Structure 1
Amino acid sequence: MNTEKRRKILEIFRDNNPKPETELNFSSPFELLVAVTLSAQATDVSVNKATDKLFPVANTAQAIYDLGVEGLKDYIKTIGLYNNKAINVIKACEILLEKHGGEVPEDREALEALPGVGRKTANVVLNTAFGWPTIAVDTHIFRVANRTKFAMGKNVDQVEQKMLKVVPAEFKVDVHHWFILHGRYTCVARKPRCGSCLIEEHCEFKEKVYPDE
């Protein structure tokens, strides 16, 4: 895909959704960190249902740490892999309290040192909580980037590096939100909704799918 076509796609996304936001519910960097950690292999809807009950009761590192693993499990047991996630969140809270005064550090290395926090989660927190021009590549972004030929790669790291290279600075803060939403609602995995796609004209996916086919 050439530079002109990529820019057109980004302009269309921006015109349609100038201020994209995550669909996870949060009101602080700490709440976002917890929500993103819980969202691994789970839907944002399922995470929101759990955190809508959790955060009014405990939404700081100290408060969640005080719940303990078993106490936290009661709030997140509807989420996949909740046992491991509860352990990781409690350990992360302990580290935040010991090393960062209970606050979420605006630092990639420090974030990735937290249990349950990998590069993707760190990217989301740095981007969404602190406004960094990071690009968190999840399954949706990986699919859309490859299917459209916008930024092709064999794994998420390759796609991230390619997108960082080809996306102009003015779009970097918002691009991962646009691609996630596009992959979640239009460019879906099994049968993409090409007929209702904003960027269909510029997409280089050859096997486009339409409702009447």
Structure 2
Amino acid sequence: MKPDQRRELFARLAELNPHPKTELEYTTPFELLVAVTLSAQATDVGVNKATRKLFPVANTPEKILALGEDGLKRYISTIGLYNAKAANIIAACRILVEQHGSVVPQDRESLEALPGVGRKTANVVLNTAFRQPTMAVDTHIFRVANRTGLAPGKTVRAVEDKLLKAVPPEYLMDAHHWLILHGRYVCKARKPNCPGCVIRDLCRFKDKTPA
């Protein structure tokens, strides 16, 4: 995809949704960190159902530590891999309290040092909570980047690196949200809604679905 096509792609997505945001519900960087950790191999809808009950009771590292691992599990047991996620969140909270004054760090190295926090989770927190121009590539963004020809790559990291170079600077801050929402609701895995897609004429996907 050529530079002018990439700029046009994001211009159209921006016109549709000028202020995109994550569908995870949160009010603080710590709540976002917990929500994103819980969202691995789970839906945002499922995570929100759990955190609506959890956060009014415990939404700081100290309060979640006070719940303990078993107490936390009671709130997140509807989410896949909840045992491992509870252990990671408790361990992460302990590090936040002991090493960061209970404040979520704003640098990648410190975030990725937290149990349960990989590169994608760190990118989401850096971009969404701290407004850093990062690119968190999930399955939706990986699919959209490859299908459209925006930033094709064989690995998640390859797509991330290409997107950081391919996305016009003026759109980079919100590009992650536009692409994930486009993949979730339009460029779906099994049956993309090509007839209703605003970037279909720019897209290089050969097997577009008919009207």
Same fold by TM (over 0.5)? yes
2:209 corresponds to: 209
**Other-structure match for 2:172:** 172
Gaps of 5+ in 1: none
Give the Cα separation in 2 of the matches to 1:186 and 1:169.
Answer: 24
Root mean square deviation of aligned Cα: 0.6
Distance in 2 separating the partners of 1:169 and 1:132: 12
Q: Is 1:5 aligned with 2:5? A: yes
Q: Given the two structures, how large is their TM-score scaled by the length of structure 1?
A: 0.98
Please state how far the C-alpha of 1:210 moved relative to its aligned partner: 2.3
Partner of 1:70 in structure 2? 70
- How far is the alpha carbon of 1:92 from its aligned partner? 0.2
Between the two proteins, what is the percent identity of the paired residues? 65
CA deviations over 1:140-196 (Å, ceiling 9, x no partner): 000000001110000110000000011121111100100000000000001101011
Amino acid of the structure 2 residue aligned with 1:102: S
Name the SS for the 2:19 alignment partner. coil
* Partner SS for 1:198: coil
Q: Which residue of 1 aligns with 2:111?
A: 111
State the alpha-carbon separation in 1 of the partners of residues 206 and 118 from structure 2.
Answer: 34
Amino acid at match of 1:133: P
Q: Give the residue type in structure 1 aligned to 2:144.
A: V
Q: Within 5 Å, which residues of 2 pair with 1:1-213?
A: 1-211=1-211
Runs of 4+ in 1 over 2 A off after TM superposition: none
Task: State the TM-score, normalizing by the size of structure 2.
Answer: 0.99
1:63-120 Cα deviation digits (max 9, x unpaired): 0011111000000000000000000000000000000011101111000000000000
2:102 maps to a residue whose letter is G
Q: Aligned equivalents of 1:169 and 1:88: distance in 2?
A: 35
Output one character per residue of 1:112-137: Cα deviation in whole Å (capped at 9) or x when no partner.
00000000000000000000000100
